[in-house]
Chains A and B, each alone.
Chain A
Amino acid sequence: MLWGLSPRTGTERSMKKKAYFKADEADTGLGKFKGLEVRIGTIVDDEWDEPMGPTPMPDPTGLRAWDHKLLARYQPSYMPYCQVCCLCTFGKCDLSGDKRGACGIDMKGQQARIVLAAANIGCAAHLAHARHLVDHLIEEFGPRTELIQGPGTEIHAPVSRLVTGMRPRTLEDAAIIVDYCETQLAHTLSATHTGQEGSWLDFESKVLHAGMIDQVGMEIADLVQISTLGFPKADPEAPLVQSGIGMMDTNKAIILTIGHNIVPAAAITDYITEKKLGGQVEVGGMCCTAWDITRRDPSAKVIGPISWQLRYIRSGKADVVVVDEQCIRTDVVREAQKVKSPVISTCDKAVMGLPDRTEDTVDSIVDELVSFKIPGAFIHDHHKVGEVATKVALALKPKRRKMKFFPSKKKIQKMAEECKKCSECIRACPNDQPVMEAVLAAQLGNFEPLRDVYQSCIGCARCESACPNDFDLHSWMVVAAEADCKDETYMVRTGRGAIQDIEIRNVGQPIVFGEIPGVIAHVGCANYPQGGKDVHDMAEEFAKRRYIIVTSGCAAVSAGHVRDENGQSIYERRSGDFDAGGVLNVGSCVSNPHIAGAAIKIAAIFAKRNLRGNYAEIADYIHNRVGAVGISWGAMSQKAASIASGFWRLGVPVIVGPHGSKYRRMLLGKAEDERAWTVYDARTGDRVLTAPAPEHLFYAAETVAEANVMTAKLVLRPNDTGKGRSIKLSHYIDIHEKYYGFFPDDVWRYIRRDSDIPITLKDKILAQMKENNWKERKIIDPTLLKEQVMGGGS
């Protein structure tokens, strides 16, 4: 079936794609043609017999009704970071009290607007990444290259199916989906302009829209790279790879890659493989590029999360630094210059002020970099990057290994005597670490306190910026912790990609019924309040209780950076299967939609729900049935904000660490507000009170203890069976007693009938139920959507 090129919306738009072919000579049933060129506006994907749902490719208001249901239950709690607005020349406008700005906006609206701005920025970063990958891979492999998520993934690209109504089967399809996402982002970004949206509620709805679009863009980014670049394909046994500063072999030339976009880093490992230089050069990555290079080439190494950048650059071990995009230290050139490491920037979004050498010959660029005539170069041709980076690293390694970059302890002790005791280092530290006291101890030759600070340090170096003596305090910490750095040697499982349909088939029922108590995803950045070990400890606490643990991004690195008494990381001692007790790393930031995808596929496979353009129904299903919780303990970036927003729209709660309170808005429920927890019984259409589950949608926890207790609570779902609810409550009570020291006083709220009560705790719970005038409730088929009631709710 052919469609014309006239503008279309909704369903039609979701099905179309442009087709073009050209033939010098063609012998067809219609005759013989020379110089044939045919352009077709659109072709409908007739082969997919799944009926189209109500909201393919929704615009920013397409799912507004669903958003408002969520936002009525989980109300925004704003904590302004600033009382003024300074976004236009009307301002600055004082919005304190009940004042409004010159444009008419009030404080609540302004806070929601800033939240939307953050979600847009995060979404833009992933989407631009996806666009680059799609365009680049089309150029390399052709538009008709098939997209393959892996064996056992018949329902590939579940997020794209759900949102767009399309099955992206080729790179060309991927490009159409990215087109749609870019249009949506333009709309949600434009809403933040002065004199556009005015309601906090509609700003928040657009936050959810930007988050959903972000999920689609990320899914496409990972799908296209998995399909074409030789990554593990939905593989529970993705390779274990070396990780940690101590794993880097300084006998070889070292290339450090930082960022998120695999293309230049892949060119480096490809060049090394092609020239058989693996014995002389090694490649280590930081942040998500680390995961993606090891997915492509398991001989590459994961040095550490985002917060390890400064300590590794300053160590001088990297002979060349190659940056691509996102989460790169913006002073990377300045820092690398201090240790005579040239920087190669490769991405138009992060040129870093370097001269453009894209058109120059490899030899001339190498000469300039090796002789330090230029501190680095912008090379926008990844093939050239591979060759230049390798040649520069090999040329510089012999000279650079003789250099020492960190001061000796003796020198630090001497410098520490000049400390002015002004406390500015402590005041600048995000985690209030006792930096000054540690420096004062170093005066006396005691380096243990500096070593302690290293363990919690997020590597921001704000202490140095604040120091009136310009001391390199972060370097001092690294010197004090030299032995710890050398000991950072771990084996971590690289990103497996999607979850297989067969895995979902095996666990779908126990998850929906609550017998596997939950799926917990540790994702995001490394802005930890007390170091990355917390991520490991949280993951282990729940893995040993047979929850399914999924990891991605920097959190996936931190989870693997703890060894047990047998010297094994969590990835070595636990299975990579999507099953009870498994700990599976899906990959980089753009792999996060595999986590959302698993929840979506539960609805498709276990409950046989249609996904195609059917967002609200599936989100309602997940929200009421799939006990999934996202945790981003070190959430820092706007990307983390947009990733979280995508999970919120699916009804999946997200917990962040204490720094996450600076996102300045939580989405919180009120357990005692019965109206908020009253849902439809899909079987009867009756309005029925359920438990406050999940109680919150976005929550910053102050401590690991609080995060663990909240996680155990937020996996509760209205649809849990009696057995499932009883298992979940057993864990909640046990974790609550362990970390808070007492039996939780809200268990009664989650008891619907006798079968929900954990048998060994019956007496205590019965007493609590009596005290609170508990009444028996039905176990229903819960939905927030009237149209999901049998017969359409009429």
Chain B
Amino acid sequence: MVMRPVPWQTGEICGPDSAKSLTKAAVLKRDLSKAKSPLLIVGSEAATEKHGKGDMVDYAIALSEAGKMPIIATGGAIKAFIEKGFEGAKSMGAMEVAFRLQDPEWKGPNGKGPHDLIFIYGIPYYMQWTLLSGVMNFGTHITAITLGRYYQPHAKWSFPNMKEKAYHSALDEILELVRGGK
């Protein structure tokens, strides 16, 4: 298992800027305390990724409730939220999200933006890579934190290709941090 902060897909190297390694939840404290309006973006793979006794859709619901942040579900992930009886998610395409996040005036899925921080995971690796590139280069008002297991160089913070057990622990720590208030 690769532990260095290098892109998970070997060819997906980037330019001069790259994400900081998110090895413990505490490093996010400052960005979370500064954020006025966070947004959670969850892709289609979340429904099939396990976490604890549930899946990464359950994790999204917990994180959303903990941080009072709206959820955008991409690629049809919305169906999994609805099936779980959660109504706080809105459906958008990943490419639409990438476009809108470049606009500092965009009010977000519930009209309560503009958003200044995003959590993101569950979109196919390479597609999330491109989405985050759009954000890094043209949505500079956004602090991007990826919560997928693999290193995404275009975020501000990303896990460094984590081992599975450590990854899930880190997710729980982040949930606790968000729950702990800002």
B76: Cβ under 8 A from any A Cβ: yes
Among candidates B16, B93, B138, B140, residue contacting A78 with C-beta atoms closer than 8 Å? B138
Contact B17 A83 (CB under 8 A): yes
**Distance in Å: Cβ of B168 to nearest Cβ of chain A:** 18
CB neighbors of A among B1-34 (8 A): 1-2, 8-11, 14-17
Answer whether A664 and B123 are a contact pair too, CB < 8 Å, given A83-B14, A83-B15.
no
Contact B127 A658 (CB under 8 A): yes
CB contacts (< 8 Å) of A658 on chain B: these are: 124, 126-127
Among candidates B16, B82, B130, residue contacting A742 with C-beta atoms closer than 8 Å? B82
A405: Cβ under 8 A from any B Cβ: no
CB closest residue in chain B, given A466: B10
Contact A710 B93 (CB under 8 A): yes
CB contacts (< 8 Å) of A699 on chain B: these are: 93, 95
Interface-located stretch among B64-72, B96-104, B113-121, B169-177? B96-104
Give bound CA distance, A107 to B9, whole Å. 24
B60: Cβ under 8 A from any A Cβ: no
CB contacts (< 8 Å) of A709 on chain B: these are: 76
Answer whether A742 and B137 are a contact pair too, CB < 8 Å, given A96-B16, A701-B93, A703-B44.
no
B51: Cβ under 8 A from any A Cβ: no
CB contacts (< 8 Å) of B79 on chain A: these are: 705, 739-742
Chain A contact residues, majority secondary structure: mixed
CB closest residue in chain A, given B12: A81
Answer whether A94 and B93 are a contact pair too, CB < 8 Å, given A661-B127, A739-B76.
no
Which of B79, B82, B94, B99 has the most chain A CB atoms inside 10 A of its CB?
A: B99
Give bound CA distance, A423 to B3, whole Å. 12
Which of A107, A423, A702 has the most chain B CB atoms inside 10 A of its CB?
A: A702
B74: Cβ under 8 A from any A Cβ: yes
Give bound CA distance, A664 to B91, whole Å. 22
CB contacts (< 8 Å) of A740 on chain B: these are: 76, 78-79, 82, 91
CB contacts (< 8 Å) of B130 on chain A: these are: 79, 81, 661-662, 664
> What is the interface size of chain A, counting residues whose CB is below 8 A from a CB of the partner?
43
CB closest residue in chain A, given B134: A79
CB contacts (< 8 Å) of B93 on chain A: these are: 699, 701-702, 706, 710
CB closest residue in chain B, given A432: B125
Give bound CA distance, A286 to B130, whole Å. 31
CB closest residue in chain B, given A709: B76
Contact B83 A705 (CB under 8 A): no
Answer whether A81 and B133 are a contact pair too, CB < 8 Å, given A427-B10, A699-B95, A739-B79.
yes
Which of B83, B94, B127, B130 has the most chain A CB atoms inside 10 A of its CB?
A: B130
CB contacts (< 8 Å) of B131 on chain A: these are: 79, 661
Answer whether A529 and B15 are a contact pair too, CB < 8 Å, given A661-B95, A701-B75, A741-B78.
no
Give bound CA distance, A423 to B10, whole Å. 11
Among candidates A82, A428, A705, residue contacting B75 with C-beta atoms closer than 8 Å? A705
**Distance in Å: Cβ of B110 to nearest Cβ of chain A:** 12
Among candidates B1, B14, B99, B138, residue contacting A668 with C-beta atoms closer than 8 Å? B99
B160: Cβ under 8 A from any A Cβ: no
A31: Cβ under 8 A from any B Cβ: no
Answer whether A423 and B2 are a contact pair too, CB < 8 Å, given A81-B133, A83-B14, A740-B79.
yes
CB closest residue in chain B, given A83: B15
| B residues neighboring A (CB under 8 Å) | 1-2, 8-11, 14-17, 43-44, 74-76, 78-79, 82-83, 91, 93-96, 98-99, 102, 123-127, 130-131, 133-134, 137-138, 140
Given contacts A700-B127, A702-B43, 15 further A-B contacts (CB under 8 A): A78-B134, A79-B134, A80-B15, A95-B15, A96-B17, A427-B9, A529-B124, A662-B126, A662-B130, A664-B133, A702-B44, A702-B94, A705-B75, A705-B76, A740-B91
List 11 contacting pairs A-B, 8 Å CB cutoff, sorted by A.
A81-B130, A81-B133, A95-B15, A428-B10, A666-B98, A668-B96, A700-B94, A702-B74, A702-B123, A702-B124, A703-B44
What 5 A-B pairs come out closest when comparing CB atoms?
A83-B15, A702-B75, A705-B76, A77-B99, A741-B79
